[in-house]
Amino acid sequence: MSHHYSMVAKHVNNIQAEDKIFAANREAVNAAAMYGKEQVINATVGAILDDEEKLAVMPTVMEVLRNIPDTEYAAYAPIAGTPDFLEAAVSAAFKDSRPEGFIKAVATPGGSGALRHTIWNYSDIGDTILTSDWFWGPYKTLAEENLRKLGVFSYFDKDKKFNLASFKEKSSELLARQDSLVILLNSPAHNPTGFALTGEEWLQLLEVLKHQAADGTKKITLLCDIAYIDYAGPSGRDFMKHLSNLPENLLIVVAYSVSKSLTMYGLRTGAAIGLSANKDVVQEFYDVCQASNRGTWSNGTRCGMKLLSTIMHDSEILLQVEAERKELEQLLVERAAVFTEEAKQIGLDTCPYKAGFFVTIPAIQPGDACDRLKKDNIFAVPLTRGIRFAICSVPAVKLSGVPQKIKNAIG
Ligand SMILES: Cc1ncc(COP(=O)(O)O)c(C=O)c1O
């Protein structure tokens, strides 16, 4: 008889079975092999598949990548990232909505790296990091891996608007017992719901934070996770202008990533971008993030950096990339319309979707509902209080009838 013998150190708390999303995907892939692809709806994957259900890539991005010289693949990048990449990442993140203030970026392996460095450098060990109650699961893993906890506020009020009261209550509660607070806010095109704060809601949120920062005793860091911003329509960056002229103890970090923006998920390229009205705060941000790079994964993927800087420094290439991305965004818009219109017609409640890769349906027993959906060969991801349906990976023609089946499965 074997018993479970554990070798890991005492602080290791994240032993878990297979990632839920990858597990659900595996089942969908098996079902497709058994019954044929056309019989199966695989709404588990957080990547855009085209209408032939192949991973979508942008031809111009591929061409630029393939033309990168050998040495730009093989060489190390500077620990902080190549200077032309850092400039390109800031331009790509803010476009023409660049806030006033001092800005410095450090290259990270995707937005995940920016999340990690922010948690590590701007909260104390044991602190609770705050995010919305609907959140991307790895936020919790990232907090716990770094010996922090994750706490949540209610993202939506009863009218499906931003729940300012809950945000205020939870952030105040944490600030009463912590010297610092890191907040992870994913908007626009939020994963998993598709939600975005309006301009007015951003102003209200920032007012709360300014008020909490006012006596100067607390340090607050707001991480703006913009992983999906390039699929949120032309107003996606409107909130950025509100990030100017904040107090020095309210730091903004923008987590920028090419994973979705260039559909280059595996290239592991992104940046942590610090923004503050205080120059020293931003220099310090750069210094600690650079040191954290050295102390974790060392330097980043050089060809990924070269890819973004080449695109951003050539206006013709950039226009082409933006046109190709627009086509992908259009796929999402069409698919979301099919799904949400049918949901509305049949009275299936969804979280407030505005844009993005996923629609989420609240459910009391999401695991059971997802199991029932599997009998219809529909594969989605059970969350704690709902079902995440990845419209990004399902062609529009396969979507009609799906909301009804979800409604039946929820019971
Ligand atoms: C909400 C959110 N933030 C950040 C990321 C980071 O991804 P990456 O590290 O590939 O940039 C993802 C990826 O799925 C995400 O969904």
Closest residue to atom 3 of ligand 1, CA basis: 227
Is-cis flag, bond preceding 366, omega within 30?
no
Q: Identify the pLDDT of residue 19.
A: 77
> Are residues 356 and 208 part of one domain?
no
> Are residues 270 and 128 part of one domain?
yes
186 ligand 1 Cβ < 6 A:
yes
**Residue 396 C-alpha to ligand 1 middle, in angstroms?**
24
267: tokens are: 């290239």
Largest Cα–Cα distance in the chain? 67
**Residue 220 C-alpha to ligand 1 middle, in angstroms?**
22
249 ligand 1 Cβ < 6 A:
no
Digit-coded pLDDT (tens) for 88-128: 999 999 999 999 999 999 999 999 999 999 999 999 999 99
Digit-coded pLDDT (tens) for 321-355: 999 999 999 999 999 999 999 999 999 999 999 99
Q: Identify the pLDDT of residue 5.
A: 87
Q: Domain for residue 157, yes or no? A: yes
The yes-or-no verdict on residue 397 having pLDDT over 80 is yes
User: How many whole angstroms separate alpha carbon 409 and alpha carbon 365?
Assistant: 10
Query: Whole-model pTM?
Result: 0.97
Q: Identify the pLDDT of residue 2.
A: 62
User: Counting atoms of ligand 1 from 1, which one is nearest the CA of 190?
Assistant: 1
Q: Which residues contact 342 (CB under 8 A, 6 or more apart)?
A: 348, 399, 400, 401, 402, 403, 404
111 ligand 1 Cβ < 6 A:
yes
Q: Domain for residue 172, yes or no? A: yes
Residues 81-93 have a mean pLDDT of 98
Residues 299-317 have a mean pLDDT of 98
Residue 237's domain is classified under what CATH number? Answer: 3.40.640.10
Q: Identify the pLDDT of residue 1.
A: 54
Domain termination site, one of 313, 334, 359:
313
Residue 338's domain is classified under what CATH number? Answer: 3.90.1150.10
Range(s) of the domain holding residue 368: 20-58+318-410
User: How many whole angstroms separate alpha carbon 114 and alpha carbon 118?
Assistant: 6
**Residue 111 C-alpha to ligand 1 middle, in angstroms?**
6
Q: Identify the pLDDT of residue 17.
A: 61
Q: What percent of the chain has pLDDT over 70?
A: 98
Residues 167-182 have a mean pLDDT of 98
Residues 44-58 have a mean pLDDT of 96
Number of domains in the chain: 2
**Residue 135 C-alpha to ligand 1 middle, in angstroms?**
11
Q: Domain for residue 12, yes or no? A: no
Three-state SS for the chain is CCCCCCCCCCCCCCCCCCCHHHHHHHHHHHHHHHHCHHHCEECCCCCCECCCCCECCCHHHHHHHHCCCHHHHHCCCCCCCCHHHHHHHHHHHHCCCCCCCEEEEEEECHHHHHHHHHHHHHCCCCCEEEEECCCCCHHHHHHHHCCCEEEEECCECCCCCECHHHHHHHHHHHHHHCCEEEEEEECCCCCCCCCCCCHHHHHHHHHHHHHHHCCCCCEEEEEEECCCHHHCCCCCCHHHHHHCCCCCCEEEEEEEEHHHHCCCHHHCCEEEEEEECCHHHHHHHHHHHHHHHHHCCCCCCHHHHHHHHHHHCCHHHHHHHHHHHHHHHHHHHHHHHHHHHHHHHHCCCCCCCCCCCEEEEECCCHHHHHHHHHHCCEECEECCCEEEEEHHHCCHHHCCCHHHHHHHHHC
320 ligand 1 Cβ < 6 A:
no
Closest C-alpha to 290, from 72, 83, 144, 71: 83
Mean model confidence pLDDT for the chain:
96
Domain termination site, one of 274, 298, 313:
313
Q: Identify the pLDDT of residue 13.
A: 74
Domain termination site, one of 284, 313, 342:
313
> Are residues 325 and 195 part of one domain?
no
User: How many whole angstroms separate alpha carbon 140 and alpha carbon 149?
Assistant: 7
